[in-house]
Amino acid sequence: MDDETIWKRTKFAAEIGEDDYNTEITLCGWVQYTRNLGKMAFVHLRDRTGIAQITALSKTMDRELFDLIVSVPRESAVCVRGIVKQSPQAKAGWEIIPYKVKIAGEAKTPLPLGVVDKVDADMDTRFDNRFLDLRKPQIQSIFMIRSTILDAVREVFLEEGFIEIQTPKIVATATEGGTALFEMKYFDRKAFLNQSPQLFKQTMMATGLDRVFEIGPAFRAEEHDTVRHLNEYTSIDCEMAWGTLDDSLDVLEKVIQRVYSNVLNHNFMQLESMGQTLVSPERPFPRLNYNCIIDKLSARGIEVVDENTGKKRVIEWGDDIPMDGFKEIAKDRPSLYFIMKWPMKLKPFYIQPDPDDPEVSQGFDLNYGEKELVSGGQRVHDPELLRKLIRERGMDPEDFGFYLKAFDYGMPPHAGWGLGVERLTMIITGSSNVRETVLFPRDKHRLVP
């Protein structure tokens, strides 16, 4: 065998079974553990599917090869070619008797972060050495599940007749208002990183593409330093023309349900490695009205700071729900539920008022316990109402030129929503911090790696 062929993996560890006994295979991965007993040595080789035991016998093998195997530093990247032998003593019921080993990349010692050590490293050390952190099966599992989630989302959108789009992330104006934006230099002009594809996805409703979705980055220059906020996250956005609020809720429930069922079907091993149990939610998801939530929270004495007096008082209709309010709701609703009929003043300018009560909006949130997962709603499609609502929020319709123009030349009614991939992954994987669900999180303190 020449040196080139040994680089080619023929099996992953988890693929090895009885059919492979007494056959030759090549495994590639990282040396997790080595134990040298003198006459015999055991090496655990880890790949993304599991661990293979390599058993080297000094008597029957080349001395040089034996010495090489026992001296490979932990976490080195290696390929091993050998014969699969049935072995009742080995955990998997088989072991690999090696006859060729190639060290592709030797690991320096000591490791900046242990991969199998029990001691839990702090988050900074982990993120500084994310490539090593990601070698841990339970961390890798999060990203395998994230991949299934995105696949499931696309699957439903495509089945439902949506077209995938990409909209610009460098924009000229502060789009939705509310959130702070990251400013950047665009040649000799000022530009911003987009906080949401909102204005573009709505503009698409005036094109006749009818149903669009986008999965892309969104940037928020928020100061928040919480376990739920990132400064760069991946947003799943959709918008449907000639669609109602209920149509958008229907698609959302289908998306969430498919995410659960595909993860349950495809990621059993990953869920197990994380000790996570999932139960697919039933449709329709519970729908709670904002006013009922406020009644309940005020009865339980939840307080907010009054905008006018700056003093604390019991929550009332019109107040945003504070985190302890959501925690209170989560006691009764630990899983998925919609919050409907929010006051207009708590929703962005593009959300349509309720036909029966102009103070109430047709915007909704989907929460999981205390966490907000999605927001969306029926949009305003009348350009004059839109201009009025922009002005009422202290913004200038002139700044929304390209967006409003699309409404002036035949805009159909439409509805849609935005869902944060990381928050969804957090819920599905049971992660306690949203940073766990991003390869290289961007928060107030972290820009590298």
Which residues of the shown chain bind ligand AMO in the complex (CB under 6 A)? 196, 198, 220, 222, 229-230, 233, 235, 237, 372-376, 416-420, 422-423, 434
Nearer to ligand AMO, 75 or 239 (CB): 239
The sign one gets for the Cα dihedral 188, 190, 194, 200 is negative
Nearer to ligand AMO, 66 or 338 (CB): 338
Cα separation of 379 and 202, whole Å?
A: 9
- Reported for 207-211, long-range contacts at CB under 8 A and 24+ positions apart, including other chains, are 209/163, 209/165, 209/241, 210/161, 210/163, 210/240, 210/241, 210/242, 211/160, 211/161, 211/162, 211/163, 211/238, 211/239, 211/240, 211/241, 211/243
Nearer to ligand AMO, 74 or 229 (CB): 229
Nearer to ligand AMO, 75 or 422 (CB): 422
Minimum gap (Å) between residue 419 Cβ and ligand AMO? 6
CA distances from 170 to 183, 217, 285 (A): 10, 11, 36
Nearer to ligand AMO, 149 or 419 (CB): 419
Minimum gap (Å) between residue 94 Cβ and ligand AMO? 44
Nearer to ligand AMO, 217 or 397 (CB): 217
Nearer to ligand AMO, 403 or 417 (CB): 417
Cα separation of 186 and 312, whole Å?
A: 44
CA Rg value for the chain: 27
Cα separation of 16 and 13, whole Å?
A: 6
Cα separation of 439 and 422, whole Å?
A: 10
Minimum gap (Å) between residue 321 Cβ and ligand AMO? 13
Residue 246 tokens, joined? 């209920």
**Beta strand residue intervals within 172-286, DSSP E:** 183-186, 189-193, 211-219, 232-241
Minimum gap (Å) between residue 223 Cβ and ligand AMO? 11
Name residues whose C-beta falls within 8 Å of residue 38's C-beta, 6 or more positions apart in sequence. Answer: 58
Minimum gap (Å) between residue 390 Cβ and ligand AMO? 15
Nearer to ligand AMO, 13 or 236 (CB): 236
Minimum gap (Å) between residue 247 Cβ and ligand AMO? 14
Cα separation of 281 and 135, whole Å?
A: 31
Nearer to ligand AMO, 298 or 375 (CB): 375
In the bound complex, which residue of the shown chain has the CB atom lying closest to ligand AMO?
A: 420
Minimum gap (Å) between residue 229 Cβ and ligand AMO? 4
Cα separation of 248 and 367, whole Å?
A: 16
Let me know: does 81 contact 99? Beta carbons within 8 Å: yes
Cα separation of 113 and 129, whole Å?
A: 7
Nearer to ligand AMO, 137 or 416 (CB): 416
Minimum gap (Å) between residue 361 Cβ and ligand AMO? 11
Minimum gap (Å) between residue 71 Cβ and ligand AMO? 46
DSSP string, 398-428: GGGHHHHHHHHTTPPPEEEEEEEHHHHHHHH
Let me know: does 201 contact 241? Beta carbons within 8 Å: no
Nearer to ligand AMO, 268 or 402 (CB): 402
The residue count of the chain comes to 449
Label residues 124-155 b or e (16+ Cβ within 10 Å = b).
eebbbbbebbbbbbebebbbbbbebbbebbbe
Let me know: does 202 contact 403? Beta carbons within 8 Å: yes
Nearer to ligand AMO, 55 or 352 (CB): 352
Minimum gap (Å) between residue 423 Cβ and ligand AMO? 4
The sign one gets for the Cα dihedral 321, 216, 209, 252 is negative
Minimum gap (Å) between residue 172 Cβ and ligand AMO? 18
Minimum gap (Å) between residue 431 Cβ and ligand AMO? 13
